[in-house]
Amino acid sequence: MFKFDPGDILSTKAAMGVVLNAKTNGQHYIQKHLKGNFGDVDSKQKRVNKENIASKFGEVISKYLLGNGTVLKIVTDFENKATVFCIPGEDYSYLTKNKKLPEEEG
């Protein structure tokens, strides 16, 4: 059973590449995220995640170390009703605000 609704599930190109290069399945990680297994985040972030799930406000952030040593980050943004696969440090705001890639705008 999932602890919260992911909204639209989106991914940056970089995150898609990380998942493909690791020869893994993104569905496995989204399920962990939605069940409250936040992976490799610190205890403060876990506490914030739990508070945000309870209030349905803010963001829920998970990080997972993949088999090839890369890190996959998953962020659920309650305000924009979206969950994004990205890599740490990557700007993904264009996805949650517009829900389309920059080259699709026009």
Q: Over 80: is that where the pLDDT of 83 sits?
A: yes
Which residues are paired to 86 by β-bridges?
A: 73
> Using an 8 Å Cβ cutoff, are 91 and 102 in contact?
no
Least confident of 64-73, 80-89, 95-104: 95-104
> Quick check: helix, strand or coil at residue 57?
coil
- Give the residue extent of every domain in the chain: 8-100
Which pTM was predicted?
0.90
What percentage of the chain has pLDDT greater than the value 90? 85
Task: For the chain, give the mean pLDDT.
Answer: 92
List of long-range contacts for 23-26, beta carbons under 8 Å, 24+ apart: 23/67, 23/68, 24/66, 24/67, 26/72, 26/85
What digits encode the pLDDT tens for the residues 22-54?
999 999 999 999 999 999 999 999 999 999 999
